[in-house]
Structure 1
Amino acid sequence: MLSVQGLRKSFGPFLAVSDANLTVAKGEVVAVIGPNGAGKTTLFKLITGQLKPDRGQVMFKGEDIAGLSPHRICRRGLSLSYQVVSVFPRMSVFENVRVAVLARKRQVLRLFTPAVRLANEETWEILSNVGLADKAEVISGTLSHGDSKVLEMAIALGNRPELLIMDEPTAGMSPEETRAAKALIQRLNGELGITILFCEHDMELVFNLAQRIMVMRQGETIAQGTCDEVRCDEKVQQAYLGGQGDA
């Protein structure tokens, strides 16, 4: 579904991504790991069109999407859930998700017409899928951090993604919230068939969720393989897994 080859991005003299390579097959759950500054978030921004690469190729479903605008990439079935929660804090949970559904249907400019009702059923379905139906009328700015992160996943689902990219989906969550987020990600993948690409610093979560792992160091891919292959890779052991606090 996704193939990244030789991706590079610099900001002046700083080389954020130097040689990133990644493959994600349909239906997989793939993790990207690496220390702070390894280039993970920049890589995700390059894939989703928020940044344009200096060179390299991003193939999504057989089409080179490198350099396309974010909304054009989103309409092709690829969505990103951010590390920092980004919702409309004065709107209800329901309204936040409905805006995403309407945007996909290109009806945002008709918010005060009967067209709004067309998205209601789908919005309720998404909220049920992520476990937020009972909080539909809650103002988003009053949600707990964990529920806010789940809401952002729900907003991303409003675009009906085939590939969902998540930047540290459990960052700042309590252990209980992390367990719930893990179960949700597994459900999105297993029951709804959504392909998942995510980055995380929680190595226990990574090895429990991911079917394959890509490892970055200083903007470069140094390994990609199954969990067992990554565990046994000497370069990965030396650079990361020898001290999980760095991973």
Structure 2
Amino acid sequence: MSSRKFFVGGNFKMNGSRASLSAIIEGLNKADLDSNVEIVIAPPAVYLGFTKEKVRQEIEVAAQNMFDKPSGAYTGEIAADQLKDIGIGWVILGHSERRTILGESDEVESHTKWNFTDIVCSLQDCICFTRRPQRENLDERESDKTLAVVTKQLEAVDKKIHNWENTVIAYEPIWAIGTGKAAVPEQAQEVHSAIRKWLAGKIGQEKANSVRIIYGGSVNAQNCREFASCPDVDGFLVGGASLKPEFHNIVSRTSKKTFHLRLG
């Protein structure tokens, strides 16, 4: 039985106001959330401090992006030390929307992660939560190129990450983001298993078994339980559903206490 704690992350993206976020936070604070599930929510940057102050202590707060320099003339960017200064220990990096809309590359992503992961190693209380070291579009999925694409992305990231055990890896196919077209559990398990096998080749099987690999892409309260039953699916990154009461249901329906999860 693995000691990997199930993880549910909520990415609010560029959504919310003080009023709407207050309602979401109030719902989370009142919800009967299972302590066997680690919960991390990522509001827009302007609401990081507000969310951190209002949400119950056991729910962590993540930034949606971070720059790779400690300070300087980088208008609009946020440094790792600034996130640490307001108590933020998680960050989403390399999201596909930043790739497709803002042109971020594999090299930029891995370089950014190298800096924050380096800080992670010295801070202990900060963990790098990566969203897109794996990316794949529908054509690639349907032409059976998925594992090659995933491996290519991981190799680029591996050059800069020095401690995979402090990283949560998220696999989210581009074609499943906000489309309602989720991968089937068997597809997710195949990719997650391949990621863990790749990790084992880099850091050894024992360490690879401790790394959490989560799935994202049209996860909802109806399909989450089936995904959670897969042995290498250690949690979810939830988009639109994280803004609704449905998010609580995803947490409660995927707890390890409920599943007595078979991870090994």
Q: Same fold (TM over 0.5)?
A: no
Task: Name the one with the larger strand percent.
Answer: 1
Mark the structure with the bigger radius of gyration. 1
Task: Name the one with the larger helix percent.
Answer: 2
TM class by shorter chain equals: 0.3 to 0.5
For normalisation by structure 1, the TM-score amounts to: 0.40
